[in-house]
Every structure is written in structure tokens, then in C-alpha cells.
């Protein structure tokens, strides 16, 4: 049977570990998710670019979209290879 109450004890809360001895830093944390979810429109844009530039390598396609002035699309070469199958 599932129990709704934890008698006679209260449920434990997870401990948050803080390091008070660390110096302050201006470093920015990494993105939580390196591979954001690209929409269908984003992938169609990538496919149109690949079709328009047939001699370009997959790494060059990835670098192009990382530095695209209209907005960056973050994905890696292995994801592109899997999508192009």
C-alpha cells in the first residue's frame, strides 16, 4: 500500500553542499543542456544549407550554424550525421 504520511518521521530534504571557502569568480556556468532541441524548421534550414553547399564537410556545417548571424543553432557533427541518413 502506498503511504501518504511518513509517521513518525518527517521526510528528509536533500542537503545543499556549499563551499564557503571558494573565491568569487566571474566565470559563467556552462549551459545546462549542450544539445538544445532543434525544431523541424531549424533542421529544414540545415538541410537546405547542406543541399545548397554539396562539397562542404559536416564539421563546416556545424561551425557555420554555431556562428550564424541570424541566430545560432547548437548541434554537433554526430547529430547532423544521424539526421542526414
Q: pLDDT digit string (tens) for 17-73?
A: 777 776 665 655 555 455 568 888 999 999 999 999 999 999 999 999 888 877 788
pLDDT at 13: 84
Q: Say which DSSP state 77 is in.
A: H
Question: Could you tell me which of 85, 19, 84 has the C-alpha nearest to residue 49?
Answer: 84
The pLDDT value recorded for residue 48 is 94
Q: At what angle do helices 40-52 and 58-66 cross, to 10 degrees?
A: 130
Q: Who has greater pLDDT, 9 or 30?
A: 9
> Residue 75 in contact with residue 65, Cβ under 8 Å?
yes
Within 10 angstroms of residue 75's Cβ, the number of other Cβ atoms is 20
Record the pTM.
0.58
Spatial separation of the C-alpha atoms in residues 36 and 30, rounded to whole Å: 13
Q: Is the pLDDT of residue 6 over 60?
A: yes
Amino acid at each position: 500500500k502506498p503511504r501518504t504520511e511518513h509517521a513518525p518521521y518527517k521526510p528528509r530534504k536533500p542537503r545543499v553542499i556549499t563551499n564557503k571557502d571558494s573565491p568569487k569568480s566571474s566565470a559563467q556556468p556552462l549551459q545546462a543542456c549542450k544539445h538544445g532541441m532543434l525544431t523541424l524548421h531549424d533542421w529544414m534550414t540545415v538541410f537546405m544549407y547542406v543541399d545548397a553547399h554539396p562539397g562542404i564537410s559536416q564539421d563546416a556545417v556545424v561551425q557555420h550554424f554555431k556562428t550564424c548571424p541570424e541566430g545560432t543553432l547548437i548541434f554537433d557533427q554526430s547529430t547532423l550525421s544521424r539526421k542526414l541518413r
